[in-house]
Structure 1
Amino acid sequence: MRADPHITGANRFAVLHDAAEALLDELDQRYVVDRRETKEQLGPAEALVRMERLMPRTPAAAPLAIAFTDFPGLTVRLGRWWAEALPACGCEVCAEDPAQLVDVLRKQAFALVEGGLWERVRRGVGGSWFETRLIGVGVNGRREGPLTRRDARDARRGGFAAPVLWAPWPTRGGSD
């Protein structure tokens, strides 16, 4: 997300960076994951941003990735296709509340770690599409979108020819 010169008060979203850091620390301490930090481009015309990933040590559980944008804001990716921009816009007209966005971040992350993410690839007349659902406490969402032929082929090779219900993350202490 690029800063828009017509948006004032964007720094009210800086709280999202603090909340994401706290969430990543909490999840890293509670679950058996590997944590990786990189610099990546979110799009071809975008600057490099810091990306933090939590990769569960079981391949049956979906990863979480959070990009810290300069706006300030976040781009959150759950599993393969669930993506969320926080804030979605950031302008005064949309009036997105940073506290509510922190709540969205936490609810989506905990729905993921509790095994509430489902994804699949489906073929249609016009090509292949991804479909994803996220269900958890305070979350019940669905997303879909087109895939390039290459992405669809890679997804099917990666096990997404049939629907994938991601497993809950293993907790430290071995109870899960």
Structure 2
Amino acid sequence: MTQVRADPHATATARFAVLHNAAEALLDTLGERFMVERRESKELLGPTDALVRTVRLIPRTPAAGPLAVAFTDFPGLMVRLGRWWAEALPACGCDDCGEDPDELADVLRTQVGALVEGGLWERVRRGVGGSWFESRLIGVGLSARREGPLTARDAREARRSGFAAPVQWAPWPRRF
């Protein structure tokens, strides 16, 4: 995960604090509705970054994709769905970009909703220049695709973990 960094052109960053509130509420709701294990820790987002609070929700079935939310000091969020889907909220945070915190909270809820309903598909593919990950996220009002390079080590680990063939994460198990 890459951390959202303070930008000298970001003067009203406090407006993004609502993202922390939205994420906390969403994590609590998911913990109540689904059979998941909640793990909290302090983690580095990168080799030169400070420790940040990270909350992981791990479904009680290995066929369902995990969720990780890191709460940055910006304030912002780094969200990881499954193995490779990563989202920085806000992406920039500068005044010129004008990202709306309420819209970003909706992005968070929409993407997590797609994961929970089994709408995340991931795989590793080999190419002439190396290995790449490919991810697709499909949900209500959402159809997105991402890909990116993998190190040789990450590609081997992914193939050992069953990602040589496409993996569609299962829906999260609901509490009864």
1:2 Cα shift? 2.3
The aligned residue for residue 132 of structure 2 is 129
1:108 aligns with 2:114: no
Cα distance in 1 for residues equivalent to 2:82 and 2:68: 8
The aligned residue for residue 152 of structure 2 is 149
2:12 to 9, 28, 34: 9
2:67 to 64, 67, 70: 64
Cα distance in 2 for residues equivalent to 1:6 and 1:141: 29
Cα distance in 1 for residues equivalent to 2:167 and 2:20: 30
SS of the aligned residue for 2:105 comes to helix
Gaps in structure 1 of 5+ consecutive residues: none
Spell out the pairing of 1:76-95 with structure 2 (5 A cutoff): 76-95=79-98
Cα distance in 1 for residues equivalent to 2:133 and 2:160: 14
> Does the 8 A contact of 1:2 with 1:46 survive in 2?
no
1:20 to 23, 27, 46: 23
1:166 Cα shift? 0.3
TM-score (norm 2): 0.97
Moved more, 138-147 or 119-128: 138-147
1:4 Cα shift? 2.4
Gaps in structure 2 of 5+ consecutive residues: none
Cα distance in 2 for residues equivalent to 1:143 and 1:7: 27
SS of the aligned residue for 1:40 comes to strand
Cα distance in 1 for residues equivalent to 2:24 and 2:85: 20
SS of the aligned residue for 2:46 comes to coil
Runs of 4 or more consecutive aligned structure 1 residues displaced over 3 Å after TM superposition: none
1:5 Cα shift? 3.4
1:139 Cα shift? 1.3
> Does the 8 A contact of 1:34 with 1:57 survive in 2?
yes
> Does the 8 A contact of 2:9 with 2:95 survive in 1?
no
Identity between Structure 1 and Structure 2 (%): 76
Cα distance in 2 for residues equivalent to 1:142 and 1:168: 19
SS of the aligned residue for 1:160 comes to coil
SS of the aligned residue for 2:153 comes to helix
SS of the aligned residue for 2:122 comes to strand
Cα distance in 2 for residues equivalent to 1:164 and 1:75: 23
Aligned residues: CA RMSD: 0.6
> Does the 8 A contact of 1:61 with 1:166 survive in 2?
yes
